[in-house]
Structure 1
Amino acid sequence: MFNGLSFEKLLLVGVIAVFLLGPDKLPSYAAKLGRLVRTLRDYANGAKVRMKEEMGPEFDDVDWKKLDPRQYDPRRIIREALLDDAPAAAVPVIKPVSRPEPAYLSRQKDAVPSQAHDDSATPFDSEST
């Protein structure tokens, strides 16, 4: 976050702060900034201690750099998944099996013409079940 922040830039920010705030208010604002930084550091340390207490000995085994969200690049993840050179599991070849005639059609063929259903009946899809 502060990669490009050098000593010269910090000095320049300090000089601008002296001119904007004035020498009479600068010490009080510096003290407030110090308290804020100390409070934030205490919150972070408290969260770390609480995490260690709740996770127990497993806390030391966690590779925190691996869980850093900044390292995740969705394009890289998808590319690695698609270009995976690991041998794929052998997929069994399924040969088509001749299926027996559906019961509906066999009953229609065996039906006496007087008992046959009309053509407006609801169609039956034998592969849907």
Structure 2
Amino acid sequence: MFFNISPLDFVAIALLAVIIFGPDKLPKLIQDASRMIRKLREFSDSAKEDIRNELGPEFKDFEFEDLNPKTFVRKNLLDNDNLGLKEIRNSFDLKDEMATVKDAVQEGGRTVRSAGDRDSGSAAAPVNGSDRLHKSEPLRPGEHPPFDADAT
């Protein structure tokens, strides 16, 4: 139905209205409510027409629904593709990009670990724990992560 009211809810509301207002006052109440809704619609239609007249002929196609930001974006940016936005949007395939980055990181991690494993047998003592940069060992409790001067 309307306003996301199920038929059972509508019957419950009608039954409640009959109980509260009584069967003799309910028809008059419905007439008054429908008359008030009709007058509100006439008032809003006349106000919209007055605004359109004040805006001038260049805004004759103006719709008040366009003032909603979602409607404005949908109508002006997504439907009218003068700027080629659909083409740009379709060119971004984030799943492929993320898979490529993931593969590169995984391969880079293997390369760094294997290089670190090879370097671990060298006699030179690294400064500031930089030997841990190339190893995959976890840090011991209370140990600070190594400082990499090249990364900063």
Q: State if a TM-score over 0.5 links the two structures.
A: no
Which TM bucket (shorter chain)? 0.3 to 0.5
Structure with larger RCO (C-alpha < 8 A, sep 6+): 2
The TM-score normalised by the length of structure 2 is 0.39
Bigger radius of gyration: 1
* TM-score scaled by length of structure 1: 0.45
